[in-house]
Amino acid sequence: MIHAQAAQEEKPFFSIQLVLVLLAAAAISGGVTYYLKQQPPAKTTNATKKNPNVIPLRPEPLKEWKKKSRLTTEQAYVAKHVFPYIAKNQKPIKDCYFGYKGKQKLPVKTGARVTVQFTVHNDGHISKPGIFRSQMKIKGVHDCILKSMKAWKFSSHRLDKPLTMQYPFFFR
């Protein structure tokens, strides 16, 4: 009779080993899910580091500047003198690209952005014009852009130091 009772005793459905395996699997899947939902770490390269001495010139900062109650002297100079001057004098820069495009088949089909960097001195002349970053790797176009930029002359400013700026040109 004792053997019959022992045979009828049921084993528990969950053993301790099974419970531990299930807990470990749940912890691993929760960790993986948490890891996959995290934002990837931002890449820090030389291109993404901001130089506080360089003013990036693009319309977005200008809109942000105008939202402020008062512009700094540098921002006011850029908004009043630099942006309008560049807007009026873009034709020679664009001609560099389209003149080259007419002569040779360009490898860039969708267009490219060329960011130039230059320094504006107190009397308004520029120095150190250079290509900061370019999606178009055509030296002839770069040389033509820099040659055209050397003729630029902005209004004079009364700031205590020269302004170094970057401006993007989009070619399509």
Asked if pLDDT for residue 48 goes beyond 50, the answer is no
Looking at per-residue pLDDT, the higher value among 88 and 7 belongs to: 88
**Residue ranges per domain, the chain?**
54-171
Asked if pLDDT for residue 56 goes beyond 80, the answer is no
- Write down the pLDDT at residue 74: 83
- Rounded to whole angstroms, what are the CA distances from 143 to 34, 90, 116, 119, 137? 51, 15, 12, 18, 11
Q: Which of the four pLDDT bands, split at 50, 70 and 90, describes residue 38? A: low
- Write down the pLDDT at residue 40: 60
Q: Distance between CA atoms of 45 and 16, rounded to whole angstroms?
A: 51
Residue 112 has φ and ψ, to the nearest 5°, of -155, 160
CB 86 within 8 A of CB 78: no
Asked if pLDDT for residue 125 goes beyond 50, the answer is yes
Looking at per-residue pLDDT, the higher value among 48 and 155 belongs to: 155
Residues 6+ apart with CB under 8 A from 144: 96, 99, 100
Per-residue three-class SS string for 37-81? HCCCCCCCCCCCCCCCCEEECCHHHHHHHHHCCCCCHHHHHHHHH
> Which of 14-18, 121-125, 140-144, 161-165 bottoms out in mean pLDDT, i.e. has the lowest?
14-18
> What is the Rg, in whole angstroms, of the alpha carbon atoms belonging to the chain?
32
* pTM (two decimals): 0.59
- Write down the pLDDT at residue 147: 92
Looking at per-residue pLDDT, the higher value among 34 and 62 belongs to: 34
Strands, sheet with 112-120, edge to edge from the N-terminal-most edge strand: 54-56, 163-171, 112-120, 126-134
Asked if pLDDT for residue 131 goes beyond 80, the answer is yes
Q: Distance between CA atoms of 48 and 73, rounded to whole angstroms?
A: 26
Quick check: helix, strand or coil at residue 149? Answer: helix
What's the mean pLDDT in 99-112? 65
Query: How close are the terminal C-alpha atoms of the chain, in Å?
Result: 94
